[in-house]
């Protein structure tokens, strides 16, 4: 997420199988915060689960923080650099590609040693990234430039770009050559043909303010877009809206568990996690789980079904305005599950 949007949301700071009946909603989902793992001070952005190394990766405080899922041991200081956003495991988990907004680049590091392997130039303000298995390319969303940089992760080189326009946030791919990108300042999803390097459709998101998180439901061929105070589910082939749900404010991500048919929407401003049951052509909130104010990004471990959300505690908002200060020693990685 862009620094201005993060600042605005932080200034306002102060979840079962598929069941859509009212009885299921009343029963709750069984999800809760299972653990809070303390880490070093610093801000953060996207969080990822690297299944190969069994670690959680967080773009945190000017470097990447890795947490061993089994032992909870932390390894800070990987890939240091200004304005890091998304630590994406690539090349079968052998490397991590980190988007670096400060240097307008994507930095590849050795996942085991942390040593820099390569640095690839992107557009201005690289933010979210995603891997497309169909083309074998990584898509980097250049939030400021409004384009998508296409990178061959094996060759460590940019192979093209797609002009989109607007402030680009998270993206999802369908595995068949199309990508979907949230455009935060236009309240729309743009559909890309990766091979043809072009925009093929634009889906307006009625009832959505500032789309950030995006997930793709392959079975239902649906998109799940999280907005500031709502979540929109729509048909990926047509853009037809299936459901618009009232979820908490301050979302900056979404996780979709394809096995459980559940989407998880974190609300950083309210400190809650909405659990959304997703069926083909329908969706409903089945639970709202208390988490912690500030917990706005999220990652799912598909093996265990557990979720990981970075968070911290904040002091009072300064009299002159701006972001409230983070309290020393308060950064944690929340673990949510059953």
Residue 3 pLDDT > 80, yes or no? no
pLDDT bracket for residue 61 (50, 70, 90) = confident
Residues near 223 by beta carbon (within 8 Å), at least 6 away in sequence = 172, 180, 189, 214, 215, 216, 217, 233, 234, 235, 236
pLDDT in tens, 96-138: 999 999 999 999 999 998 999 999 999 999 999 999 999 999 9
Same domain, 134 and 248: no
- Give the global pTM: 0.91
Residue 11 pLDDT > 50, yes or no? no
Same domain, 11 and 108: no
Same domain, 247 and 285: yes
Domain limits for position 183: 79-204
DSSP 26: H
Same domain, 6 and 110: no
Task: Tokens 């002091």: give the residue.
Answer: 315
- Choose among 277, 308, 315, 304: nearest CA to 291: 308
Mean pLDDT value across residues 165-179: 98
Cα–Cα distances in Å, from 210 out to 144, 205, 243, 322?
15, 10, 17, 20
Average pLDDT across the chain, whole number? 92
Task: Tokens 């791919």: give the residue.
Answer: 173
pLDDT in tens, 189-248: 999 999 999 999 999 999 999 999 999 999 999 999 999 999 999 999 999 999 999 999
For residues 247-261, one letter each, b for 16 or more C-beta atoms within 10 angstroms of the residue's C-beta and e for the rest, the string is bbbbbbbbbbbbebb
Domain containing 194 — which CATH number?
Answer: 2.130.10.10
By percentage, how much of the chain surpasses pLDDT 70?
92
Same domain, 68 and 126: no
The rounded Cα 136 to chain-centroid distance in angstroms is 20
Same domain, 218 and 69: yes
Domain boundary among 149, 173, 204: 204
Same domain, 99 and 135: yes
Same domain, 263 and 308: yes
Same domain, 187 and 238: no
Same domain, 193 and 308: no
Same domain, 298 and 270: yes
Residues near 335 by beta carbon (within 8 Å), at least 6 away in sequence = 33, 34, 35, 36, 37, 306, 307, 308
Residues near 205 by beta carbon (within 8 Å), at least 6 away in sequence = 187, 188, 189, 211, 225, 227, 232, 234, 241
Domain boundary among 204, 229, 260: 204
Domain boundary among 182, 204, 226: 204
CA 96/CA 153 separation, integer angstroms: 10
Question: What's the token pair of residue 159?
Answer: 């192979």
Task: Tokens 């630590």: give the residue.
Answer: 87
Pairing of β 230-235 and β 222-226 = antiparallel
User: How many structural domains compose the chain?
Assistant: 2
Same domain, 334 and 238: yes
């Amino acid at each position: 997420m862009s620094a201005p949007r993060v600042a605005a949301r932080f200034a306002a700071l102060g979840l079962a199988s598929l069941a859509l009946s009212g009885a299921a909603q009343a029963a709750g989902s069984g999800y809760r915060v299972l653990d809070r793992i303390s880490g070093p001070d610093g801000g953060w952005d996207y969080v990822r689960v690297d299944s190969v190394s069994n670690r959680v990766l967080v773009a945190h405080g000017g470097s990447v923080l890795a947490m061993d899922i089994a032992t909870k041991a932390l390894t800070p200081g990987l890939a240091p650099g200004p304005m890091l956003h998304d630590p994406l495991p690539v090349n079968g988990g052998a490397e991590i590609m980190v988007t670096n907004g400060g240097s307008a680049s994507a930095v590849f590091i050795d996942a085991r040693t942390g040593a820099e392997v390569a640095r690839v130039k992107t557009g201005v303000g690289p933010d979210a990234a995603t891997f497309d298995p169909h083309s074998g390319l990584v898509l980097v969303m250049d939030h400021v430039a409004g384009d998508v940089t296409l990178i061959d992760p094996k060759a460590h080189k940019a192979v093209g770009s797609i002009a989109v326009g607007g402030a680009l946030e998270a993206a999802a791919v369908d595995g068949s050559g199309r990508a979907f990108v949230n455009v935060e300042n236009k309240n729309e999803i743009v559909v890309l043909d990766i091979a043809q390097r072009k925009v093929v459709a634009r889906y307006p998101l009625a009832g959505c303010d500032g789309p950030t998180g995006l997930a793709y439901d392959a079975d239902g061929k649906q998109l799940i877009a999280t907005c500031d105070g709502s979540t929109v589910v729509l048909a990926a082939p047509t853009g037809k809206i299936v459901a618009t749900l009232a979820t908490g404010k301050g979302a900056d991500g979404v996780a979709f568990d394809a096995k459980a048919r559940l989407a998880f929407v974190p609300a950083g401003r309210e400190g809650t996690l909405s659990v959304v049951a997703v069926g083909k052509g329908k969706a409903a909130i089945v639970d709202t789980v208390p988490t912690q104010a500030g917990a706005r990004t999220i990652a799912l471990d598909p093996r265990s079904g557990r979720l990981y959300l970075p968070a911290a505690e904040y002091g009072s908002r300064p009299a002159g305005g701006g972001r409230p200060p983070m309290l020393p020693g308060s950064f944690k990685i929340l673990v949510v599950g059953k």
